[in-house]
C-alpha cells in the first residue's frame, strides 16, 4: 500500500528546525512586548466573504489562491490567506475597535494555493502586527520601527532594505487610477498579457509588473506622487523625517503597490537580495478604509505581516542563529550499569526540581557503549550514575572537557547550579 504524504506545499517543521522557530517567535514576542502590543489569536477558518470583501475580488489571492470549500451546512468557508481581515473581523465582533486605540499582533499559518518553491508555500506562517484608531504618521513610524528593532535583535539589519511609498487617499488613488488607465490604454499592445488583463480590473498592480516591455512603458506613465492629496503628501514627509531621525534607512519606491486592495497612504516592504526571487520578508501599510468596508465605523489602521519561513531562511543563510539555540537540553543522564536504569528517571526528577531551569534528557535504552551514545547527543554535560554500597548513588560528570568522579546527588546539584542555573 502506498504511504500517505503531506499535501504539496505544506511542510512539516521537524524537531531540528523548531528551535530556530521558537527562537524567532520568542524574539518577536519580546520585541512586541517592549512596544506594548498584545497578542490576538483568531480561528484559521473564516467565512469566504470576509476575504472577498477585504482583500478584493480582483486580486491574485481571491481570484486564484484561496482554499475555499463548503462545510456540511453548505456555508462557504475559506482557510485564511492572511491575518489582517481576520484581525479586523475579531476586533469589530468584540467591540475592540470603535473609538479606541489598539495595538495587536498575531501569528499562525496562512493558506494560499500558489506554485510551491523556495520561500513560497501553500501553508506558510505569518506574524502580523496591527494598530487601530490612530491616523497620524507617528504610528506608521512606530510600526516600521518595530520591524527594524526585530531585524536588529535577530542580527539581520544589514541584509534587509526598507522600501516605502504612499498610495494616497482613496479619492486621490481613484483619480490617479483614471490617469494611469488612460495612459496605459494608449500603449495597450506593448503591455504583457497579465497587465492587459489587469488594465480594467486592477491597474495599480501593473506598476509592479516584472515584464520588461511593460516596465519601459511605465517609465513615462503618470506618477502616483503627482496625484497625492495634500494630507497623504504631508504625512509621508513626516514619516520620512521621523525615520531619518531614528536612523532608519529607506528607499522611496514609486512603483511599490501592494497586492491587496485595502491599502492606502503609507505602504512599505522589507526586501532582501539574499533569498532569490522571494525577497520580501515583511510587508504592510495603512488601511484606513478596511474597518468600515467590513461593516464597522471608520477607523484608521496600519500594520504589517512578516513571512516566517522567509525569515527563517534568511537567518540560516546569514548564519546568525546563536549556537545555543539548537541545544535543547543541558544534561544527558544515564545509568552506568544495569539495574539502575529506573533510578535515572527518579534522579533526573530530583535534579530538575533542585536546579531551576535545568533541562535533563534521560537515557532509557540499552547501556552498551553508553558513554559514546551519550556524547553523540551533543549534550553540553553528561552524567553517568552508579550505585555505591556505602555511599548510595554516585555520579560522574563530563562537562567542557573535564570529568569529575564520585559526585553525591547534593554535590551534583551544586555543580549543576553553578553551570546552568
Closest to ligand ATP by CB, 278 or 343 = 278
* Stretch binding ligand ATP (CB under 6 A), from 46-54, 119-127, 368-376, 410-418: 119-127
79 scored as a contact of ligand ATP (CB under 6 A): no
Taking alpha carbons only, the member of 130, 134, 133 closest to residue 147 is 130
Closest to ligand ATP by CB, 51 or 398 = 51
Closest to ligand ATP by CB, 157 or 278 = 278
Closest to ligand ATP by CB, 72 or 210 = 210
Q: Under a CB-based contact definition with an 8 Å cutoff, are residues 127 and 39 in contact?
A: no
126 scored as a contact of ligand ATP (CB under 6 A): yes
Q: How far is the CB of 344 from ligand ATP (least distance, A)?
A: 43
> Given the C-alpha cell 551533543, which residue does it identify?
378
Closest to ligand ATP by CB, 112 or 399 = 112
* Stretch binding ligand ATP (CB under 6 A), from 96-104, 120-128, 362-370, 389-397: 120-128
409 scored as a contact of ligand ATP (CB under 6 A): no
82 scored as a contact of ligand ATP (CB under 6 A): yes
Taking alpha carbons only, the member of 364, 367, 362, 366 closest to residue 336 is 367
Task: Tell me what percent of the chain is helix, strand and coil, each rounded to the nearest 5.
Answer: 40, 25, 35
Cα distances (angstroms) measured from residue 223 to each of 22, 167, 227, 235, 256 = 43, 11, 7, 18, 12
Q: How far apart are CA 48 and CA 303, in angstroms?
A: 22
Q: How far is the CB of 206 from ligand ATP (least distance, A)?
A: 15
120 scored as a contact of ligand ATP (CB under 6 A): yes
* Stretch binding ligand ATP (CB under 6 A), from 88-96, 212-220, 278-286, 340-348: 278-286
310 scored as a contact of ligand ATP (CB under 6 A): yes
Q: Which residue is nearest to ligand ATP (CB)?
A: 307
* Stretch binding ligand ATP (CB under 6 A), from 181-189, 307-315, 331-339, 371-379: 307-315
Query: Phi first, then psi: what are they for 322, rounded to 5°?
Result: -55, 140
The full 3-state SS of 192-254, as one line of letters, equals CHHHHHHHHHCHHHHHHCCCHHHHHHHHCCCCHHHHCCHHHHHHHHHHHHHHHHHCCCEEECC
Q: How far apart are CA 129 and CA 106, in angstroms?
A: 7
Closest to ligand ATP by CB, 121 or 132 = 121
112 scored as a contact of ligand ATP (CB under 6 A): yes
**Rule CB under 6 A: which of 144-203 touch ligand ATP?**
none
Q: How far is the CB of 112 from ligand ATP (least distance, A)?
A: 5
Element housing 112 (H / E): none
User: What is the DSSP secondary structure assignment for residue 125, as one 8-state letter?
Assistant: E
Q: How far apart are CA 69 and CA 92, in angstroms?
A: 25
Which positions lie near ligand ATP, rule CB under 6 A? Answer: 82, 112, 114, 119-121, 124, 126, 259, 278, 280-283, 305, 307, 309-310
Amino acid at each position: 500500500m502506498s504511504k500517505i504524504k503531506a499535501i504539496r506545499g505544506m511542510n512539516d517543521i521537524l524537531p531540528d528546525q523548531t528551535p530556530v522557530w521558537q527562537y524567532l517567535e520568542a524574539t518577536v514576542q519580546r520585541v512586541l512586548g517592549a512596544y506594548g502590543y498584545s497578542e490576538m489569536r483568531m480561528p484559521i477558518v473564516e467565512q469566504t466573504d470576509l476575504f472577498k470583501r477585504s482583500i478584493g475580488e480582483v486580486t491574485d489571492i481571491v481570484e486564484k489562491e484561496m482554499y475555499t470549500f463548503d462545510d456540511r451546512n453548505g456555508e462557504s468557508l475559506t482557510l485564511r490567506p492572511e491575518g489582517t481581515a481576520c484581525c479586523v473581523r475579531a476586533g469589530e465582533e468584540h467591540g475592540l475597535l470603535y473609538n479606541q486605540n489598539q495595538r495587536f499582533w498575531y501569528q499562525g499559518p496562512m493558506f494560499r494555493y500558489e506554485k510551491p518553491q523556495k520561500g513560497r508555500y501553500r501553508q506558510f506562517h505569518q506574524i502580523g502586527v496591527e494598530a487601530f484608531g490612530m491616523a497620524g504618521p507617528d504610528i506608521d513610524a512606530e510600526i516600521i520601527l518595530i520591524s527594524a528593532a526585530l531585524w536588529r535583535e535577530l542580527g539581520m539589519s544589514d541584509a534587509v532594505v526598507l522600501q516605502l511609498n504612499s498610495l494616497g487617499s482613496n479619492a486621490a488613488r481613484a483619480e490617479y487610477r483614471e490617469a494611469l488607465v488612460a495612459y496605459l490604454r494608449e500603449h495597450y499592445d506593448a503591455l504583457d498579457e497579465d497587465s492587459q488583463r489587469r488594465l480594467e480590473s486592477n491597474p495599480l498592480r501593473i506598476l509592479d509588473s516584472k515584464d520588461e516591455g511593460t516596465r519601459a512603458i511605465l517609465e513615462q506613465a503618470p506618477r502616483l506622487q503627482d496625484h497625492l492629496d495634500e494630507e497623504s503628501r504631508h504625512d509621508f514627509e513626516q514619516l520620512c523625517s521621523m525615520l531619518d531621525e531614528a536612523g532608519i534607512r529607506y528607499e522611496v519606491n514609486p512603483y511599490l503597490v501592494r497586492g491587496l486592495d485595502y491599502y492606502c497612504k503609507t505602504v512599505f516592504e522589507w526586501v532582501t537580495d539574499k533569498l532569490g526571487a522571494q525577497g520580501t520578508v515583511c510587508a504592510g501599510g495603512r488601511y484606513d478604509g478596511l474597518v468600515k468596508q467590513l461593516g464597522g465605523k471608520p477607523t484608521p489602521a496600519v500594520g504589517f505581516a512578516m513571512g516566517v519561513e522567509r525569515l527563517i531562511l534568511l537567518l540560516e543563510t546569514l548564519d546568525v542563529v546563536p549556537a545555543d539555540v539548537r541545544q535543547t537540553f543541558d544534561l544527558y543522564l544515564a545509568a552506568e550499569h544495569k539495574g539502575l536504569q529506573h533510578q535515572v528517571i527518579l534522579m533526573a526528577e530530583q535534579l530538575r526540581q533542585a536546579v531551576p531551569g535545568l533541562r535533563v534528557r534521560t537515557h532509557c535504552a540499552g547501556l552498551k557503549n553508553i558513554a559514546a551514545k551519550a556524547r553523540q547527543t551533543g549534550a553540553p554535560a553528561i552524567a553517568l550514575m552508579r550505585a555505591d554500597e556505602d555511599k548510595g548513588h554516585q555520579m560522574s560528570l563530563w562537562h567542557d572537557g573535564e570529568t569529575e568522579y564520585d559526585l553525591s546527588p547534593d554535590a551534583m546539584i551544586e555543580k549543576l547550579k553553578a553551570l546552568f542555573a
